Amino acid sequence: MAKMFRTFFRRMLRKHIGVVVFVLISLVAAFMLFGYATRKSVLVTVSNGATVSDVANTLKKYDLVDSASSFKLAVRAQGGRIQVGQYEIPRGTSAWRIAKMLVNGDVATTKIVIPEGLTIKQIKILLEKDSALSGDVDCAPGGQAAVCSIRDGDIFPDTYTVARGTMRLAVLDLARRKMESVKSKMVNRSIPKPLRDWNDVVTLASIVQKETPHAHEMPIVASVYINRLRANMRLQADPTVVYVLTDGLGDMQGEPLLTGHLKINSPYNTYRNKGLPPGPIANVGTAALRAVLKPADTNYLFFVADGQGGHRFSNSYEEHLKNHADWREIKKVKK
């Protein structure tokens, strides 16, 4: 009886040996793909021209997979192709999940925050300091015209989520295209006289943006400048002088703006010239644009800081002088 059982067992084993081997291999492969997990978080870069084998060997080198073969098997099972980019591999990720990330192009991302009121020069400095980006901020000869000709007022300040390693010029172009989108939604709105076109709107909005960070105050500040333009008065906006003095940087970097500075000869100096400067002096957000397109209904012609982060507004020069004297006293106390 025992002999018959052994004979039967041998026959069954020979008959199904292929199935047994396949099951064992599958169990081993499953362990290699799902059982092993990364012991640390690592940023992995897949460059142009890198093969699956190249990447597999790199992952093995950094102990991110148990074997290069297991990773290649996982890639093959999910399509066989991997995408270029930087990938943030979290601790505890299996070889199967890593392969899925690279096949699907789930690249690591970074957030770029461009605050309202910065100039192009300031934005370029901000992008240069961001190590998650790549490339230059200035165009090479023969570069894309739309990006290479960017000026103040062409960029929309916002938070942009991009892939790590994105070119800095590509971020500038992304923000430029966002401004084009904002313009297309606003450009057909009624423009208050004496403003003539979109350039005038953005130019005045840039002055308003630099004068106050408070959205609720922007329509009042806009009304002051609109009223001065209608009265053929000079705008006398300090930010336009700062723009000239700093060669477009827009930041005095702690240095005071002095009375003598107001005499500088430039078409951007609104203390010397009537009307708007030739173009924007900063990049503006939606609140400043809306403030110019729909300014508050006031008779104000003057404003000065109130010492609390806001401004005092007045209709007459006499009242403005009083407010200005109060501001000087506040500054003395603060010193």
CATH topology for the 21-104 domain: Dna Ligase; domain 1 (3.30.1490)
- Residue pair 240/269 in contact (Cβ under 8 Å)? The answer is yes
| DSSP state letters, 20-38 | HHHHHHHHHHHIIIII-B-
Check residue 12 and give its pLDDT: 53
pLDDT computed for residue 21 by the predictor: 38
pLDDT at 309: 85
Question: pLDDT tens-digit profile of 234-279?
Answer: 999 999 999 999 999 999 999 999 999 999 999 999 999 999 999 9
pLDDT for position 140:
84
Residues 229 and 194 sit within 8 Å (Cβ to Cβ): yes
Distance CA 4, CA 1 (A): 5
Q: How many CB atoms lie within 10 A of CB 28?
A: 12
pLDDT in tens for each of the 335 residues of the chain?
555 555 555 665 555 554 443 333 343 444 444 445 667 788 899 999 999 999 999 998 888 888 888 889 889 988 889 999 999 988 888 888 999 999 999 999 999 999 999 999 999 999 999 999 999 999 988 778 888 999 999 999 999 999 999 999 999 999 999 999 999 999 888 999 999 999 999 999 999 999 999 999 999 999 999 999 999 999 999 999 999 999 999 999 999 999 999 999 999 999 999 999 999 999 999 999 999 999 999 999 999 988 888 999 999 989 989 988 877 777 776 65
User: Considering only CA atoms, which of 154, 101, 100, 110 is closest in space to residue 131?
Assistant: 110
Q: What is the pLDDT of residue 41?
A: 82
Q: Residue 156 carries which side chain, given as an amino acid letter?
A: F
pLDDT, position 325: 85
Domain coordinates in residue numbering, the chain: 21-104, 109-185, 189-334
pLDDT digits (tens, 9 = 90+) for 169-218: 999 999 999 999 999 999 888 999 999 999 999 999 999 999 999 999 99
Q: Which residue, chain included where needed, has tokens 């991009």? A: 162
